[in-house]
Structure 1
Amino acid sequence: MLYGDSKSREMARSLLPSTRRKKVRFARTVVNRNTRRASRTRIAQLLRDPELADDCAELDEDSTSDMRGVVWYRRQADKVNPFIRWARWRTQDQPRELRVGLMRGALPAGVIGSHALSHLRGDKHFMTATELAWRTAWRASLRRSAMYERGLLAQLLRALLLLPNGQKSFNTYLKQSCAESWSRELGRDGEEHVVLHGSGDLRLLLGTHDVLSFLDDLGTHDKTLRSWSSDRYASTRYPALKFLDTFHRLDRDLVATVAALPVRSLASLPFIAKHGTLKHSKASPGESK
Structure 2
Amino acid sequence: MIHSDEKVRQMARSLLPAKNREHARWNRARVHRAARSEARRELAAWMRNSAWEEDVPPCAPWEDIEIRQAMNLRRWGDKVNPFIRWATARTRNLPHEARAGHVRGILPRGVIGEHAWFHLKDTPAFEDPVEASRRQHRRRCAQRRERQRRKGALLDRGEQVQLLRALLQEHDGHRLFNRFLRERYAWTRTLNDQAPANRKLQVLPPHRPLLGVHDLNPFLDSLQPDARGGYFHTWGTLTPTLHWVRLFLQRFKAHRSHIPSVRAELEAKGLLEPVIPAQPRKGLGR
TM-score by length of structure 2 reads: 0.50
Q: Max radius of gyration: which structure?
A: 2
Q: Choose between structure 1 and 2: higher strand proportion.
A: 1
